[in-house]
Structure 1
Amino acid sequence: MAGYGAFSLAVVAASERNPQRSTRQIPLARSAVTGQRIGGALIEVASDIAYRRLGIVNVAFLGTPGAGDRGWVLIDAGLPGSARAIAAAAAHRFGPTARPAAIILTHGHFDHVGALKALAEKWEAPIYAHPLEHPYLVGLRSYPEADPGVGGGLMSALSPLYPRHPIEVTDRLFPLPPDGTIPGAPGWQWLHTPGHTPGHVALWRASDRTLLSGDAIITTRQESAASVTTQTPELHGPPAYFTPDWQAAEHSIRLLAGLRPAHILSGHGRAVSGPALLPALDDLAGLDLQSLFSPVFNPKGLPAFVEDMLQTVT
């Protein structure tokens, strides 16, 4: 917990007062934010869905309160150092000895798998991910280098410092079922949404049109430290500095927008819903993100974070 807490404090200290607004993201009114704060630092968005914010990222819990041992599912595993916080939230919601039926990964970036190995071992839990994500989870392949020149913002400028190396959870790792089902979560299905990573997936429940979008669509401008800190609601494509395939990312956004979700809980930012959501999704799906996220950094010019810093004096 100390690890992600210290990182968050550093972000707050360096954050910009006035995050940029542009056609790269679609603003939402604060009334679009949904969810009720409950104990254990959790925010409940449905009777069987809650999430916990861990610094710059969310983890989600699927299952009703008091579900008991193997009666719930964890979605993603947060930043390094967050295992204790995740376990405490799970104990509060499901019971002190309640282990998950499974840990489902939307993808394997460092801020989504930081506590994965510790939690999987503690709970003796299987881990499920798309097969295309497995090389990054079995020690075989590192993610591509971050691009600090796209998107602007302090978080983009810092992105070369973020871990890219693979982790090793081979003994507990399984491919997601090819029929689209989610182990331990009846009624949910996974959808392949590449672009941010090759094996990125989103989770969808048609019965109430709830979308867990991972990083395919997020609800904050992750490139900006100010936006990450304030969590101002908006719809946004995946974090630009870690997205190597914008053509695939745009296709994934259009796929998810086509579902017509009523509620979105993403990997970064607050859960959102309401009448403004679908028009905003249509606007996001219509953006040419590949051209909008052109590099703003070059070795002879100003670094990307100047874009954010200038907002403090305008």
Structure 2
Amino acid sequence: MIKKNNVNFFQVAQGVWGMKLMFVNVFMIANRRGVRKGWVLVDTGPQGSADKIIAMAETLFGVGTRPSAIILTHAHSDHSGSLEALLKHWKVPVYAHEYELPYLTGKSSYPPADPTVGGGIMSLFSVFFRRKPLKLGNKVKAIDMAESRIPELPEWRILATPGHSPGHISLFFPLNTTLIAGDAFTTTKSESAIYLLNSIKQLSGPPMYLTPDWESAKKSVVKLAALHPRIAVTGHGPIIRGHELREALDNLAENFDELAVPTSGRYVKQAALADETGVLYVPPFKANTKFVAATIITGLLAGFIIARQIHKSVA
């Protein structure tokens, strides 16, 4: 961990840095070549993170700096939450996969979360995550997946890795085989608040509660494992490297159904369907008594947390 100017961040590889914002990672990549030198921001963290991202950027690249572009691995609220605030400060292009554009241009909401899977408190709280789309209009551009790169970052390959979201992408730097996997897989147990908030290392599948297409998610992990990355970072969890990464990622790819897919859940037997226009079909939700009881407990816990915050603000 690096601390400068009261900003905490970490180095992933040469020219790549990351910062944990609550329980989500964002990344900054220095562009070494091409006519558009500078740096690119990958994901924007949860709402309220803009000031920390700007402070990290100015610590690394100088006061008044701005990225040449922002690229989103996907548009879930924990990865796009500070995007609107950052665009008020930086007038820069935003890139996402064509299948993510409906959730960034006001055309479609994401499929509902499945709080019945994973068995952790984060799964239960997933029903409170924002599903409604942002409304960026022409501020966001579709990535040219035929080129598999953006002009502002020509040395990095962009790979379609759907499953966790319809247009999820990952970024790969072939020169030193560095992988930014977004939530195609994670390096912690995203369903567990203890693991997630403390970045306890455990290479795992995508967050269960927000993955509506498990067959595509499996194919994406197999694709990423075939790259044999030596360094990997994800949207949630710490850096993983070398033999530890290779062994764990190969194991996940080979045993994805057993290690990553829930035994039951809304999307296990039937995936949500989506295309460039947004969500087309969502399987019906079937609640059980265990889920109802867990929902009541979660509601009481949420009420307690809110009451404490109100008390603190009044006191």
Q: Which residue of structure 1 lines up, in the alignment, with residue 290 of structure 2?
A: 301
| Aligned match for 1:259, one of 227, 250, 268 | 227
Decide whether the 8 Å contact of 1:152 with 1:304 is kept in 2.
no
Q: Which residue of structure 2 lines up, in the alignment, with residue 139 of structure 1?
A: 106
Larger RCO, structures 1/2 (Cα 8 Å, 6+ apart): 1
| Aligned match for 2:164, one of 196, 211, 221 | 196
Q: Secondary structure at the match of 1:61?
A: strand
TM-score (norm 1): 0.81
Question: How much does 1:139 deviate?
Answer: 0.5
Q: Deviations over 1:92-131 (max 9, x none)?
A: 1111111100000000000001110111231101000000
Decide whether the 8 Å contact of 1:47 with 1:64 is kept in 2.
no
Q: Secondary structure at the match of 1:214?
A: coil
User: Structure 2: how far apart are the matches of 1:144 and 1:137?
Assistant: 14
Deviates more, 1:243-252 or 1:227-236: 227-236
Q: Gapped runs of 5+ residues in structure 2?
A: 266-285, 297-315
User: Structure 1: how far apart are the matches of 2:160 and 2:3?
Assistant: 32
| Aligned match for 2:241, one of 248, 262, 273 | 273
Q: Secondary structure at the match of 1:166?
A: coil
| Aligned match for 1:73, one of 40, 52, 56 | 40
| Aligned match for 2:63, one of 96, 108, 125 | 96
How many correspondences in the alignment?
268
| Aligned match for 1:242, one of 210, 232, 252 | 210
User: Structure 2: how far apart are the matches of 1:92 and 1:143?
Assistant: 35
Question: In structure 2, what residue type is equivalent to 1:166?
Answer: P
Q: Note closer, same or farther for the CA distance 1:106–1:176 as it changes in structure 2 (3 Å cut).
A: same
Decide whether the 8 Å contact of 1:103 with 1:126 is kept in 2.
yes
Q: Note closer, same or farther for the CA distance 1:127–1:115 as it changes in structure 2 (3 Å cut).
A: same
Q: Secondary structure at the match of 1:236?
A: coil
Q: Which residue of structure 1 lines up, in the alignment, with residue 310 of structure 2?
A: none
Question: How much does 1:170 deviate?
Answer: 1.4
Decide whether the 8 Å contact of 2:31 with 2:153 is kept in 1.
no
Q: Which residue of structure 1 lines up, in the alignment, with residue 311 of structure 2?
A: none
Question: How much does 1:190 deviate?
Answer: 0.3
TM-score (norm 2): 0.81
Decide whether the 8 Å contact of 1:70 with 1:100 is kept in 2.
no
Decide whether the 8 Å contact of 2:71 with 2:94 is kept in 1.
yes
Q: Which residue of structure 2 lines up, in the alignment, with residue 206 of structure 1?
A: 174
Deviates more, 1:188-197 or 1:280-289: 280-289
Are 2:5 and 1:37 aligned? no
Question: How much does 1:223 deviate?
Answer: 0.5
Q: Deviations over 1:1-28 (max 9, x none)?
A: xxxxxxxxxxxxxxxxxxxxxxxxxxxx
Question: In structure 2, what residue type is equivalent to 1:237?
Answer: G
Deviates more, 1:77-86 or 1:288-297: 288-297
Q: Gapped runs of 5+ residues in structure 1?
A: 1-35, 307-314
Q: Tell me the C-alpha RMSD between the 2 structures.
A: 2.1
User: Structure 1: how far apart are the matches of 2:287 and 2:87?
Assistant: 42
User: Structure 1: how far apart are the matches of 2:264 and 2:39?
Assistant: 42
User: Structure 1: how far apart are the matches of 2:37 and 2:116?
Assistant: 44
Are 2:23 and 1:56 aligned? yes
